[in-house]
Amino acid sequence: MTSRSSGIFPRRLNWFYVPAIALFAVFSIYPLISGVSLSLTNWNGYSRSKAFIGLDNYARLLDDEVFRTALVNTLIYGVGSTLIQQVLGLALAVVLDRIVRGASLLRAVIYLPVMVSPVVLGTMYYLIFRYNNGALNDVRALFGAEQVAWLSDATVGIVVIVIVNSLQFVGISMVIYLAGLQAVPTEYHEAAQLDGATWWQSFRSITLPLLQPAFATSIVLNLIGGLKLFDVVQVLTGGGPGQSTHSVSTLIGETYFSNQAAGYSAAIGVVLFVLIVAVTFVLNSQLNRKRVEL
């Protein structure tokens, strides 16, 4: 009786995977296959007719200056936001780990922007940086300074987007690092203090190496989010001035809806997918190898 149950139970248990696999296939695998097949056509997104054109859309990307600009911006958004979030997130986690009173409230306040829609948060910052009646320009006017078109300059716009995205999601890094800090055995630090180590020496030699799993998780999550950035860019600049602040994601939307080039838009999406997969794979490999060496 026992052997029959042990033989049947695993086969029944496997059926529990079916709903998850079905959902993954419908919402991930099928759209991916459809996107790749669509990228090989000249479909405009509206008509019923579409023609197979092979790799022409991908060849067109090589000469597309707007795409190259969006690709560089996407890397800036991803890498820049990730670096800022790691530094701020780790600093906040270290401070909160040492605070006894009010730590829970501070954690909730810092994490709160993560739960706010990027569109809502982007709109709030747009009201701060816009030229006419912007909060920042109104403050400057109180001191007799001239108004500044913050979002009309490509460089300033890119910096603002990176900062806004970083401030919204720094709470994720903070929570990850805080969990990592609280998992470090206190005995290690006590032993270091007995050996005469300073706080910085203990943090550098004990805490940071033991935070490698937290570093890996936080960096990968933040980088993927930054490479997919859409909402904040769309709300703050709309890809302008001109098309100088586009991310690849916002360029996909503009190409599809404004230029009515669904096939070309799909090709851009496939390239973005490959970029994210490649960056994630390389980053995970490097971080895991470093963790093994420790």
Say whether 133 sits in a helix, a strand or coil: coil
226, two tokens: 């930054």
- pLDDT-based confidence at residue 237 (cuts at 50, 70, 90): very high
Residues 241 and 154: beta-carbon distance below 8 Å = yes
Mean pLDDT value across the chain: 88
Q: Classify burial at 197, counting beta carbons within 10 Å of its beta carbon; exposed 0-12, middle 13-18, buried 19 or more.
A: middle
CA of residue 153 relative to chain centroid, distance: 24
User: Which pTM was predicted?
Assistant: 0.87
| Confidence at residue 272, expressed as pLDDT on a 0 to 100 scale | 94
pLDDT at residue 292 tops 90: no
